[in-house]
Structure formats: structure tokens, C-alpha cells
Structure 1
Amino acid sequence: MVDELAGKPIGERIRIIRTRQGKSRAAVAGLVGKSESWLKKVERLERESPRFEDLVALGRVLGVRDLTELVGEQAVPIGMGRQALHDAVPAIREAIEETPLRVNPDPWPDTTELKRRVDSAWKVWHSSRTPRADVGRVMPELIRDCERAMRVLDGEERRKAAASLSEVYALAEQVLAWVAEPALVWLVSDRCMRAAQQADDPLVIAGAAWVLGNVHRSANREEEALLLADEAASLLAPYLDSGSDDQRAVWGALRLHGAITAARMSREGDALHRLDQGEAMARRMPDGYAHPWTLFGSVNVDFTGVSVTVDLQQSRSAVSRASSDLDPDRMPSIDRRARLWLEMARSYHQAGDQPGTLAILQRASSVSLEAMRSHPISRSIAGELVTSGGPMVQREARVLARDLGLTV
């Protein structure tokens, strides 16, 4: 592709690569947190070339191997460094990359206690306004202890340890997403699935598929993410009537996962069908139920509905869904609440309402500044409000951008 595009300017390269992949301008712009008009001007060479961070975001959405495909002469590989956008990352990375050749069996691992610690870490993740910092303090030791249990135990106890290890890596993926290098996130998701396979439990394997699917989708591998979610749901299908609430919940979470993925592929029918399936399953769950880590339940279905409509570029529908009867405070996860407000900011941004975008993004940051500092879309929107938001919003946008860690 690089040779075929030789001599063409950046904007034209972006347009050609996007159209070859069958992706609409609106879909690509939305996934990088920009307006369709911004991308149109970039492609038509009506504005300066995108900033480096915007090129990186475009490269990820378009699935290029390195920025050469977008910019031409100089190769700038995507995701090959060891950047850490959060202080918790280095210690977690160190625990993940350790390979001790000898393991002391004393004290003997207690799988019940390991499970309790894992559940506690998930509760911290959902209840904290600074979940990456708070979970980051316990994550390294938890990884080491679960890995050690896998080395020492055998039989049924080893399978229990494997299940806990898989859940630890599932949580690690949540912590590391967007703040660590993609290679580390891929490693975590792979280990999550390998531990789940060692646990030999359809529920654990399906949960790991939910995690791995998140990573596939963030890497612009939507087809693989959708296929994985569908196959994992089929693993749990035999248990939907006679199984546990957790089995039904993970099945539902996988349908919601598929709904978001299909929406990002502009497959509206598939997205809405999976959303309907998730909603039907949520009605079967006990009142107030929320899965311990996917958060599947009626509230999460409502939140996902907003995300799906935003990804389908239906900003008015997203605002209508959110403003009708959606109460953000019913969501047990603070991080997820903040990301709902970010979805709303995206919808206002798509509609070209810059004052509304700023107000909603400020609200998201008040819910969890850490979440907004960690998410590339919030940072991208804030940066664009500073550079092209106009006099009405630029002053406040500049303050917000600094709060999100941008240099303006």
C-alpha cells in the first residue's frame, strides 16, 4: 500500500485507505473523537496535517502497520514503545513480565482467599474515582500470588487458581487499556484466555473472550472481536435456562459487546439485534443485579444503548436515550459513569455543538478525572476544543485540556 500511495499527500492517503476498507468518514471520525467535518477537511487538504497524536489515533482506527502508510517517508511504528500514561503501569508491567524459575510453596496457597482478594479488587475498580491508582497498588502482588498458586497447586485447586488468575488479568486489561503500550495489553489478554482454558470452565472462558474481544476491537480488528463474542456466547447458550445468574450475565455482556462492535462497523441491524438480545436477558436477571466485573444488568444495557447510537453516528438518538430515563448514578461503576458522560460529549461533538461538548466533557471529568485523563477520545476532543472551539469555549477548554494532561 505504501508504494501505491507514493507521492500522495497525507489527507489523500487517509481517504484512500479509509475507502478501501469500506469505512465511512463519519465512523472513522467518531472513533478518533473528531467531527466528520474535521476529517473531511483533512482529506481534502483544507487544513494543516493532523497532529502526531491524531495521526496515531487514525492509524489505530484504520489498522495501519505504522505511520508510514499515512505520512509517507518516515516510519513511525504504532505501539512499539513502552509508554506509560499512568504511574501504576510500571509495577504492574514488572509483575506480568517476571518469570521466576523456582517457586517456594510456603505458605501454601489458599484459593478461597485468592478469590476473595480478586473480588475485592474488582469492587475497588468500580467504586473508586481513581481506580487505576487504587487497583494499581494491589495488582502486582495479586498477579504474583495467583501465578504462584498455578505453579504450586494441582487438580481442582489448580483450576480454581486458574480461574482467579484469569479474572486478575481481566482486571489488569481494564487498568492498562489506553495507558500502557498495546503490546502489554495484548499480553495481558492472552494470559487471561490461557488461564481461563486451564480453569476448564465455560463461564471463565467466555469471560476471557469478553476481555480479548475488547482488545481486538481497540486494535481495529472488529471482525475477530465480533466472531469471538458470538462463539463465546454459544459456549454459554446451554446454561441459560438451568445455569447461574453469572452465566446468563456473561452471555448478556457478550451480546452487548457484539452490539458495540457491530455499531463501529456501521452494521446497524446487527448492532440493534444484539442490543435487543442483551436487553431481553437483563429482564430475566434479579432486580438490581450487576455482574461483579462486566456489570451486566438493566442499567448497563441502558448505558450500552447510548454507546451504540453514538457509534452509529446517531447523535440525536443518543441524547434522547440518555435524557429520557437514564440515571447515571444507578451505575455501580464510577469509571463507567464517567465514560457515559464521555459518550454524550461525543454525541454533542458529532452534532457540532461545541459549548455542549465542553459542558458535558467537564461533567465527565468531575465524575472521574483519572478516567478522562486516561481515555484518548476525551483528550482528543479537549484538544480540538482548544484549537478550533472558538472564543466562546476556548478559555474553559484550555483549562480542561490542562487538567487532562495536555500541553496547550
Structure 2
Amino acid sequence: MGDDRWSAGHAPHQAVPVGRRIEFRRTQRRLSRRAVANLVGRSEEWLRLIESGRLRLDSIEATIRLAEVLQIADFRELIDRPVPPERPTPAAAELVSALRPAILDHPGLADAMAATDMPATDWPAELLRCEQLWSRSRDRFTQTARFLPRVLVAARGWHWRTGGGDTTELLIGAYHLCRQVLSAMGAHDLALLVADRAVAATSGQDRPAVLAASAWHMSEALLPLHPAACRDFALATAQFVGQELIDEIALRGALQLVAAKAAATAADSMAADHLLTAAARTAHRLEGAHVACGVAFGPDEIALTRMEIALAAGDFDSVIAVATGLDGAESEPAGRRARYHILVATALAGRGDDVGAVYALVRAAEASPEDVRYDADAVRTLKQLLRDDNRMLRRELERLTELADLGGAR
């Protein structure tokens, strides 16, 4: 049997994840991970993430070079389907369970009866309270999950009883917030469901910006599940969004960004770069940041998207380079500040800078302790740092481990 085939007893390569095929061939050829990574021109951590299935090979050049180093005759053997989206952690699953009944119960009679528990004049103010908790609270996950189910039930109930009218846009806002919370916790199936309901609720609405915002939430919900569908849906919507009103311009840019992330996930780096450039032109028209129907768009969102795309590609240097233009300012929403520091921490850990990575995670925890617990990149990076077991950082790591509820995992 030639070197470019699997040995007897292994499943056909289509049934074996790319990462496992790479690791098998590397060990078969008695090559260290560091040696292979150096020959490909990437970091050892990048190859570890590829082999573990945490990253996809999204560069034709890197794929071809890796095939050459491992002496795999056909580089197409290293092309695989996207990594399945991560599921909620046990801690997140507990919070999701509080939202699930409010989402899955039929939005009819049950909601209409439950709505009597919250007067029509109260639930809009409660929805605003939930939005503020999600944006600013350091305990934004638990606090929002505590109050949002009752608000969502009331919103759907009063909308059902009144037949729409002024309650429709508020109901859509409740769905939008619910989608954000669910996506952040990894409950992608429920996030897609509420995003679809938001789009359906816009039927008959004479507000193009509200429809565009609902389409953006639908695109974000599709991204981890169906990247190609996400890209097509976001781009199709962006083409029909107006280009005169500031809200519509901002939403067009936000749709371009989610389409860029989808293109990058599908390993179409050229399309991703094109869409990022288009989003930058859209931001230039705004002359600054803008929030439309709860969707933020501007230079910072473009920079964060560039960081996420670079991180997914294992390009840690680019993540840090882009990060230098941002600072996670205190005036920014808690979640965005935390996400910025988590991206930086993950990139620094990938470069072997444990001290910098721990410091960045501490900064993330200062912005939002619960993001360190529920953000998948934060948890993964912290586990890596714990395995490194740097004694100089033990005190900080113990505190972060407690925040993340990892129970001393290594």
C-alpha cells in the first residue's frame, strides 16, 4: 500500500475528520507537530487546532503545502465539511432551559392567558430593562435569562390579543434580544427559531429597517449552522436595503459583515476580503458608528470581524495587528469589550504568550465575568493555559477557573 493511502482497518477518508487524517499521517511519518507546522509556515498551535478539529483548513496554499509535507498525493483529501457548531456548555444549558419553554410554547392561547400576569403598560419597560442588562450588566447572561422569558411570553400574548398594531415592533425586539442571548450561549437551533419568528413578524410592516434588522439576526443565526445559506441570505437582503437613510445604510453594512464571516467559514477568502472592503466603504458613508434597530455597525464592528476571521484561520499575528487599532474602551457595551479581550487572549495563547493571554482574559472578566464562562473561545483558551500550568500565573488562573466554573479542568 502506498504512502498516500490509509492503512488497512481505517475507514475511507471521507468518513474520517481532516484533523485526524493529518495527525495520523504526521505520526505515521514520525514528524513532530512543530516540524510540520514550521514547514507549512504556520504555528504549532495552529496545527494543534487543525488536528483537534477546532479550526478548518481555509487556505488553498496551506492545504497544498501540508499535503506536500505529509506526502499526500491528492490535496483534496484534506478538504472537509465545516466543523459542527459547538453546543451549549452545561452552565449555559441551564440558562437555555429557562428560555426554552417561553420559546417553544405555542404563541396563542397560552401566551394570551399568561399575558394577564404582566400589564400591557409594563412589558415594554421590562423589555428595555432586559436590553440594558444584556448590553451593560457584568452578569448579563444570568440577569437577562432571569427576566427575558416572562417578557417574551407577555410580548407574544399581548400581540396575540391585540392583533398586532403597536405591539408588533416590540415583539420583534424581544425576539431579536432572545436570538442574541441564545447565540452567545451556543443554542443555535433555538436562535434560528426565534430569528425566523422575528422575520415572520415583520410581514405587513412598512419599515424596511426593521425587516433588514430581522434579516441580519436571521443571518447571524444561520452562520454557525449553514454558512452558505447565511451568505446568500445576507447578500440578497443587502441588495434590497435602501442606501439613503442612515439606518438602512448601517444595516446594509452589518449584513455585508455577516456575509464576510460566512464566506470565510466556507473557505472563500477572496469573497470575504471583498465583502470586508465593501463594508468599509459603507462605514465611510456613515462617517462613524451607528446603531440601527439594535444592530451596531461601524469601524469597530469591521475590526472585530477581521479579528474573528483571522482567528478562525489561525492567523494570530493578524488578530493582534488589528487589535492594536481598538482598545475595548469602557464606554463600549460589556459584551463587546469582553469579546475583544477574548479574541486577543486566544491569539496570544496561540502564539505561546501565556502571560499576555492571561492578562487579556482578566481584562475580559473585568468587563463581563460571565463571558469568560460562556464564550467558547474563552473557555478553550483557559483550558489550554491550564494545561500549560505556568506557576507564575497560578493565582490568576485559579480566579479565572472559578469564574468559568471549570472545576480545575486541565
Taking structure 1 as the reference length, the TM-score comes to: 0.73
Give the Å deviation of 1:391: 4.9
Match of 2:16 in 1: 13
SS in 2 for 1:357: helix
Match of 2:258 in 1: 257
Equivalent residues in 2 for 1:107-146, closer than 5 Å = 117-146=126-155
Supply the distance in 2 between the matched residues of 1:353 and 1:227 (Cα, whole angstroms).
Answer: 38
User: Given the superposition, is the C-alpha separation of residues 127 and 18 from structure 1 closer, same or farther in structure 2, using an over 3 Å criterion?
Assistant: farther
What is the aligned length? 353
Q: Which stretch of structure 1 is more off in the superposition, 253-262 or 81-90?
A: 81-90
User: Given the superposition, is the C-alpha separation of residues 182 and 254 from structure 1 closer, same or farther in structure 2, using an over 3 Å criterion?
Assistant: closer
Contact 2:118–2:154, Cα closer than 8 Å, also in 1 = no
User: Given the superposition, is the C-alpha separation of residues 190 and 83 from structure 1 closer, same or farther in structure 2, using an over 3 Å criterion?
Assistant: farther
Supply the distance in 1 between the matched residues of 2:52 and 2:143 (Cα, whole angstroms).
Answer: 40
Question: What CA deviation, in whole Å up to 9, does each residue of 1:341-379 have, x standing for no partner?
Answer: 111112223323333222222221222111120112211
Q: Which stretch of structure 1 is more off in the superposition, 337-346 or 277-286?
A: 277-286
Supply the distance in 2 between the matched residues of 1:123 and 1:117 (Cα, whole angstroms).
Answer: 10
Match of 2:326 in 1: 326
> Is residue 62 from structure 1 mapped to residue 69 from structure 2 by the alignment?
no
Contact 1:246–1:291, Cα closer than 8 Å, also in 2 = yes
Match of 2:361 in 1: 361
Question: What amino acid does structure 1 have at the position aligned with 2:296?
Answer: L
Give the Å deviation of 1:132: 1.8
Contact 1:150–1:162, Cα closer than 8 Å, also in 2 = yes
Supply the distance in 2 between the matched residues of 1:17 and 1:42 (Cα, whole angstroms).
Answer: 7
1:36 aligns with one of 23, 46, 62: 46
Supply the distance in 2 between the matched residues of 1:404 and 1:106 (Cα, whole angstroms).
Answer: 38
SS in 2 for 1:257: helix
User: Given the superposition, is the C-alpha separation of residues 362 and 9 from structure 1 closer, same or farther in structure 2, using an over 3 Å criterion?
Assistant: farther
User: Given the superposition, is the C-alpha separation of residues 120 and 18 from structure 1 closer, same or farther in structure 2, using an over 3 Å criterion?
Assistant: farther
Question: What CA deviation, in whole Å up to 9, does each residue of 1:29-57 have, x standing for no partner?
Answer: xxxxx9323246658xxxxxxxxxxxxxx
Give the Å deviation of 1:265: 3.0
SS in 1 for 2:16: helix
Supply the distance in 1 between the matched residues of 2:383 and 2:203 (Cα, whole angstroms).
Answer: 43
Question: What CA deviation, in whole Å up to 9, does each residue of 1:140-170 have, x standing for no partner?
Answer: 222122212321234xxx2543332222111
Contact 1:84–1:181, Cα closer than 8 Å, also in 2 = no
Supply the distance in 2 between the matched residues of 1:328 and 1:231 (Cα, whole angstroms).
Answer: 32
Match of 1:335 in 2: 335
User: Given the superposition, is the C-alpha separation of residues 87 and 203 from structure 1 closer, same or farther in structure 2, using an over 3 Å criterion?
Assistant: same
Supply the distance in 1 between the matched residues of 2:283 and 2:383 (Cα, whole angstroms).
Answer: 38
Contact 2:355–2:393, Cα closer than 8 Å, also in 1 = yes
Supply the distance in 2 between the matched residues of 1:186 and 1:128 (Cα, whole angstroms).
Answer: 25
Match of 1:29 in 2: none
Contact 1:268–1:312, Cα closer than 8 Å, also in 2 = no
Match of 1:350 in 2: 350
Give the Å deviation of 1:311: 3.1
Give the Å deviation of 1:383: 1.0
Give the Å deviation of 1:138: 2.9
Match of 1:89 in 2: 96
Larger RCO (CA under 8 A, 6+ residues apart): 1
Supply the distance in 1 between the matched residues of 2:382 and 2:129 (Cα, whole angstroms).
Answer: 34
Give the Å deviation of 1:294: 1.9
Match of 1:98 in 2: 105
Question: What amino acid does structure 2 have at the position aligned with 1:229?
Answer: A
User: Given the superposition, is the C-alpha separation of residues 292 and 200 from structure 1 closer, same or farther in structure 2, using an over 3 Å criterion?
Assistant: closer
Question: What amino acid does structure 2 have at the position aligned with 1:89?
Answer: V
User: Given the superposition, is the C-alpha separation of residues 298 and 123 from structure 1 closer, same or farther in structure 2, using an over 3 Å criterion?
Assistant: farther
Q: Which stretch of structure 1 is more off in the superposition, 391-400 or 172-181?
A: 391-400
User: Given the superposition, is the C-alpha separation of residues 388 and 16 from structure 1 closer, same or farther in structure 2, using an over 3 Å criterion?
Assistant: closer
Contact 1:149–1:161, Cα closer than 8 Å, also in 2 = yes
Contact 1:386–1:397, Cα closer than 8 Å, also in 2 = yes
Contact 2:343–2:377, Cα closer than 8 Å, also in 1 = no
Question: What amino acid does structure 2 have at the position aligned with 1:62?
Answer: V
SS in 1 for 2:406: coil
User: Given the superposition, is the C-alpha separation of residues 18 and 215 from structure 1 closer, same or farther in structure 2, using an over 3 Å criterion?
Assistant: farther
Give the Å deviation of 1:290: 3.2
Match of 2:63 in 1: none
Contact 1:299–1:330, Cα closer than 8 Å, also in 2 = no
User: Given the superposition, is the C-alpha separation of residues 180 and 330 from structure 1 closer, same or farther in structure 2, using an over 3 Å criterion?
Assistant: closer
Contact 1:83–1:180, Cα closer than 8 Å, also in 2 = no
Supply the distance in 2 between the matched residues of 1:107 and 1:406 (Cα, whole angstroms).
Answer: 38
Contact 1:260–1:311, Cα closer than 8 Å, also in 2 = no
Supply the distance in 1 between the matched residues of 2:362 and 2:235 (Cα, whole angstroms).
Answer: 36
Equivalent residues in 2 for 1:264-283, closer than 5 Å = 264-283=265-284
Supply the distance in 1 between the matched residues of 2:316 and 2:19 (Cα, whole angstroms).
Answer: 26
Supply the distance in 2 between the matched residues of 1:381 and 1:203 (Cα, whole angstroms).
Answer: 38
Give the Å deviation of 1:110: 5.8
Match of 1:167 in 2: 173
Q: Which stretch of structure 1 is more off in the superposition, 192-201 or 102-111?
A: 102-111
Q: CA RMSD in A?
A: 3.8
Contact 1:114–1:161, Cα closer than 8 Å, also in 2 = no
Instruction: Mark the structure with the bigger radius of gyration.
Output: 2
> Is residue 228 from structure 1 mapped to residue 216 from structure 2 by the alignment?
no
User: Given the superposition, is the C-alpha separation of residues 280 and 110 from structure 1 closer, same or farther in structure 2, using an over 3 Å criterion?
Assistant: farther
Match of 1:152 in 2: 161
Contact 1:266–1:312, Cα closer than 8 Å, also in 2 = no
Q: Which stretch of structure 1 is more off in the superposition, 139-148 or 190-199?
A: 190-199
Give the Å deviation of 1:339: 0.3
> Is residue 298 from structure 1 mapped to residue 305 from structure 2 by the alignment?
no
Give the Å deviation of 1:211: 1.5
Question: What amino acid does structure 2 have at the position aligned with 1:366?
Answer: E
Match of 2:214 in 1: 208
Question: What amino acid does structure 1 have at the position aligned with 2:337?
Answer: R
Contact 1:205–1:232, Cα closer than 8 Å, also in 2 = no
